[in-house]
Amino acid sequence: MGHIDARIRDRLWERIIDLLRDGRAVMVYSARNEQHMAFKVYGADWSPVDCDGLQLIKRPKEAKEGSFVGTPRKGWSNASKYRKARKFSKRN
């Protein structure tokens, strides 16, 4: 959109929130910081976080049964075991 006055941007954001009730919205706009941008988030679990002068968007970890989000798998995969077995069997 180009450069928008902060007052107009805030009114636009309020209108988006009023009209968007159940959805999600993210606004990225220019700001006077190291990153030269700032974020506004609505309707999502994500939240803007200031990290040493850089603004990042943090997504919480989901602890679902059967998913590997946040928990690394341990051990070797079957494909890796098979490849190693073939590699070592060719040397003999």
In tens, the pLDDT along 30-42 reads 888 778 888 888 8
**Amino acid of residue 38:** A
pLDDT class of 62 with cuts at 50, 70, 90: low
Q: What is the pTM of this model?
A: 0.55
Domains and CATH numbers, the chain: 1-60 (3.30.70)
